[in-house]
Amino acid sequence: MQRILDVVERVGNRVPHPVMIFVILIGIVILLSHLLYMLGASVSYQVVNLETDSVEHTTTVARSLLSVDGIRFMFTGVVQNFMSFNAVGVIIVAMVGVGVAEEAGLVGALIRKLVVVAPPGALIYLLVFVGILSSIAADAGYLVLIPLAAAAFVSVGRHPLAGLAAAFAAVAAAFLVNILIVPTDGILTEITNDAIHLVDSTVSIDLTANVWFSIASVVMLTIVIALVTERIVEPRLGSYGGGYSVEGDGKLSADEYRGLRFALYGLIGTIVLIAALTLPPGAPLRDPATGAIVGNTPFMASLIVSIALIFMVCGIAYGRGAGTMKDTSAVMAAMAKAIAGLSGLILLLLVIAQFLAYFSYTNMATLAAVSLADALGRANLDALWLLVGFVVVVLVLDLVITGAIAKWAIFAPIFVPLLMRLNVEPEAVLAAYRVGDSPVNVITPLNAYFAMIVTFAQKYEKDSGIGTVIALMLPYVVVLCVVWTLLLVAWHLLGLPWGL
């Protein structure tokens, strides 16, 4: 296993610069799109229309990027493709706040405090558990928890890349399960119900349809990810000799304690402000039509802004208390430094945004997804093996279609009716989708935050590259795919309730 991972890392790190990799991929997509267009590739299927909340029959054909329309799209869409790439804005906004907190010394002080408070053996389990739950706050886990986990590990003498890998696995490889109801659950549930109504209009599931399976998955995944980190990833990495360390000797000074106290005041004040803008009836961050707080609401849409604000206010407060930030110039310098540090990542995201836009334009992902789904449906498998086969198909497609909602809108009208006719509950199909959709997120370069993870790794080991991250994460993918699928199979065979 170690030799295989070493080969993966060496080969992965010998490939061209990530920017050039995506330039080459763009070239391949352009040529392949024209070939499929010339062959007249097309698929017909039923899909859930997310705008009308209805199931529609549609036909998708391959579109060539070398046609007149395709060339026009490539030349006129560059700026819009980049501006529409949500990850760019999310990263910049979040890092403005995190940058202030880090430059002020708040992040280092919190990590050292965490290390003192948390039992050594529990640190990894705590970080993984919080990482899995971070899906309630959209992308905050990627932007905040992963770098914090790396820093926490190095502060206790453990390899920072092991902390980074564990947190990345928790945030991304377990993304679709939580002990809480998250906004994504609402959308997945509605798509599932639309697919159910193709077979039986009197049957529906609700938001808690997978709650028991999700809770069990969270507990199991916390343990499994921690064990993979300690038994496979850390032994392979060995001791850390990169020279990076968290400032301080492990003990907090009087100034740092005063800074943490000021930061707590800032945190309380910011939370009170956000609560005042959210909780009262008719508050600005409630849904103006329904008054809801969770779901497709201003509050959920502004979570990254709220998180950035919390870090910024707490960072400024800490800086004032600890004496590390004496005026607004220091705050502005911290923000500028944080943005400057993203320059290479922003260049890469510019190219990735074009690749994703071109790939989406060609319809190749939809052609592949529907073709694989139809092939599995025609395989005449029994219910259990069809459920497992569905997990495998989702795992494979997650390499190129990372959006959980987009894939489910295609798969649900195919697999939910098919498995219901074999007496498999729709809750089981949705649970199988949760299993298949998550693990591969940590090794596909099409994950919007994959490039950022490589950047985080380079902070501790400058020669880290795509191969380094893929080699780090492959053990998690293999183990989670096997163990999580076995949990799904056991749950199905035992007839346990999937939710409430």
pLDDT digits (tens, 9 = 90+) for 362-398: 998 788 878 877 787 777 778 888 889 899 989 988 8
Q: Kindly tell me the burial class for residue 113, based on how many C-beta atoms sit within 10 Å of its own C-beta (0-12, 13-18, 19 or more).
A: middle
pTM of the model: 0.78
Q: Compute how many other C-beta atoms are within 10 angstroms of the C-beta atom of residue 438.
A: 27
CA-CA distances (angstroms) from residue 94 to 114, 272, 313?
A: 22, 20, 13
Give pLDDT tens digits for 128-155.
Answer: 998 898 887 666 788 888 988 898 898 8
pLDDT score of 360 more than 70? yes
Give pLDDT tens digits for 47-100.
Answer: 777 677 677 888 989 999 999 999 999 999 999 999 988 778 888 888 888 889
Residue in this structure with the two tokens 């609700």, named with its chain if needed: 206
In sequence order, the 6+-apart residues with CB closer than 8 A to the CB of 332 are: none
Question: What is the pLDDT, as a whole number, of residue 232?
Answer: 93
CA-CA distances (angstroms) from residue 470 to 222, 261, 348, 391, 460?
A: 20, 40, 18, 21, 16
Question: What is the pLDDT, as a whole number, of residue 8?
Answer: 67
User: For a pLDDT cut of 90, what percent of the chain falls above it?
Assistant: 42
Element (H, E) at 378: none
Q: Kindly tell me the burial class for residue 403, based on how many C-beta atoms sit within 10 Å of its own C-beta (0-12, 13-18, 19 or more).
A: middle
d(CA 108, CA 138): 24
